Chain A
Amino acid sequence: MILVVAEQRGGALNRASWEAVACAQQLAGDEPIAILLPGGGDAAQALAAAGAGEVLTVDDPALASYTPDVQVAAVAGAMAQTSPRLVVMAHTYQARDYAPRLAARLRAPLVADVVGVKGTGAESTFLRPMFQGKLVAEVAPQGDGPAIVTCQIGAFRADAVVKGAPAAVRTLSVPLETPSRQTVEPPFQEARQAVDLGQAERIVAVGRGIKAQDQIQVAEKLAAAMGAEIAASRPICDNGWLPMDRQVGSSGQTVAPKLYVALGISGAIQHLVGMKGSRTIVAINKDADAPIFEVADYGIVGDLFDIVPALTAEIEKQSH
Chain B
Amino acid sequence: MKIAVCIKQVPTREWQPRLTDDRTWIREADASFEMNEPDAYALEEGLRLREKHGGEVVVCSAGPARVQQVIREGLARGADRGLHVDDAGLAAADGFMVASALAHAMRDEAFDLVLTGLQSDDQGHAQTGVALAELLGIPHSTIIMDVEASDGRVRVKRELEGGWFQWVAMPTPALLTIQSGINQLRYATLKGIMAAKKKEIRSVAPPAGLTPALKIVGLSLPAKSKQTAMIDGPPAQAAAELVRRLRDEARVL
Interface membership of B226, Cβ < 8 A: yes
A311, B243: Cβ atoms closer than 8 Å: yes
B130, A97: Cβ atoms closer than 8 Å: yes
With A93-B159, A136-B219, A159-B251: A314-B240 Cβ-Cβ less than 8 Å: yes
Task: Name the B residues within 8 Å of A295 (CB-CB).
Answer: 224, 226
B246, A140: Cβ atoms closer than 8 Å: no
Interface membership of B160, Cβ < 8 A: yes
B161, A93: Cβ atoms closer than 8 Å: yes
Q: Which residue of A has the minimal Cβ distance to B130?
A: A100
A135, B242: Cβ atoms closer than 8 Å: no
Q: Mark B201-239, 1 if CB is under 8 A from A, else 0.
A: 000000000011111111111101010111110011011
A135, B134: Cβ atoms closer than 8 Å: no
Interface membership of B30, Cβ < 8 A: no
B250, A297: Cβ atoms closer than 8 Å: yes
Binds B, one of A54-62, A183-191, A204-212: A183-191
With A297-B229, A298-B228, A301-B230: A318-B247 Cβ-Cβ less than 8 Å: yes
A311, B253: Cβ atoms closer than 8 Å: no
Interface majority SS (helix, strand, loop, mixed), chain A? mixed
Interface membership of A75, Cβ < 8 A: no
B239, A187: Cβ atoms closer than 8 Å: no
Task: Name the B residues within 8 Å of A93 (CB-CB).
Answer: 142-143, 159-161
A182 contact from B169, B214, B238, Cβ within 8 A:
B169
Name A139-183 residues within 8 Å CB distance of B.
Answer: 139-143, 157, 159, 181-183
Name B1-36 residues within 8 Å CB distance of A.
Answer: 11, 13-17, 19, 26
B131, A103: Cβ atoms closer than 8 Å: yes
Q: Mark B122-141, 1 if CB is under 8 A from A, else 0.
A: 11111111110111000111
In the complex, which range does the number of interface residues on chain B fall in?
35 or more
B245, A192: Cβ atoms closer than 8 Å: no
A299, B215: Cβ atoms closer than 8 Å: no
B226, A296: Cβ atoms closer than 8 Å: yes
Task: Name the A residues within 8 Å of B239 (CB-CB).
Answer: 307, 310-311, 313-314
Q: Mark A206-226, 1 if CB is under 8 A from B, else 0.
A: 000000000000000000001
**Smallest beta-carbon distance A19→chain B, Å:** 12
Task: Name the B residues within 8 Å of A26 (CB-CB).
Answer: none
With A140-B215, A188-B165, A194-B181: A101-B133 Cβ-Cβ less than 8 Å: yes
Task: Name the A residues within 8 Å of B139 (CB-CB).
Answer: 68-69, 181-182
Interface membership of A84, Cβ < 8 A: no
With A185-B166, A187-B164, A187-B166: A318-B243 Cβ-Cβ less than 8 Å: yes
A103, B216: Cβ atoms closer than 8 Å: no
A299, B166: Cβ atoms closer than 8 Å: no
A111, B214: Cβ atoms closer than 8 Å: yes
Task: Name the B residues within 8 Å of A311 (CB-CB).
Answer: 239, 242-243
Interface membership of A83, Cβ < 8 A: no
Most B CB within 10 A of own CB, among A130, A183, A293, A315: A130
Most B CB within 10 A of own CB, among A110, A181, A303: A110
Interface membership of A235, Cβ < 8 A: no
B228, A138: Cβ atoms closer than 8 Å: no
The docked-state distance in angstroms from the alpha carbon of A244 to that of B121 is 22
Most B CB within 10 A of own CB, among A100, A134, A139: A100
A110, B246: Cβ atoms closer than 8 Å: no
With A103-B131, A199-B162: A298-B245 Cβ-Cβ less than 8 Å: yes
B141 contact from A136, A182, A192, Cβ within 8 A:
A182
Task: Name the B residues within 8 Å of A67 (CB-CB).
Answer: 168
Task: Name the B residues within 8 Å of A301 (CB-CB).
Answer: 230
With A131-B17, A199-B162, A250-B14: A307-B124 Cβ-Cβ less than 8 Å: no
Task: Name the A residues within 8 Å of B217 (CB-CB).
Answer: 125, 138-140
A142 contact from B122, B123, B214, B218, Cβ within 8 A:
B214
With A96-B143, A98-B130: A110-B213 Cβ-Cβ less than 8 Å: yes
Q: A101-B140, A138-B219, A185-B167 are in contact. List 4 more A-B contacts (CB 8 A).
A: A110-B213, A135-B221, A188-B165, A300-B232
B residues sitting closer than 8 Å to A (CB atoms) are 11, 13-17, 19, 26, 94-96, 99, 121-131, 133-135, 139-143, 159-171, 181, 211-222, 224, 226, 228-232, 235-236, 238-240, 242-243, 245-247, 250-253
Q: List 20 A-B contacts (CB under 8 A).
A: A97-B143, A100-B128, A101-B133, A109-B213, A134-B221, A135-B17, A135-B222, A138-B218, A139-B214, A142-B214, A143-B213, A182-B170, A185-B167, A188-B164, A259-B246, A279-B252, A281-B226, A293-B228, A294-B224, A301-B230
Give 4 nearest A-B pairs by CB, closest first. A100-B130, A310-B239, A104-B134, A100-B127
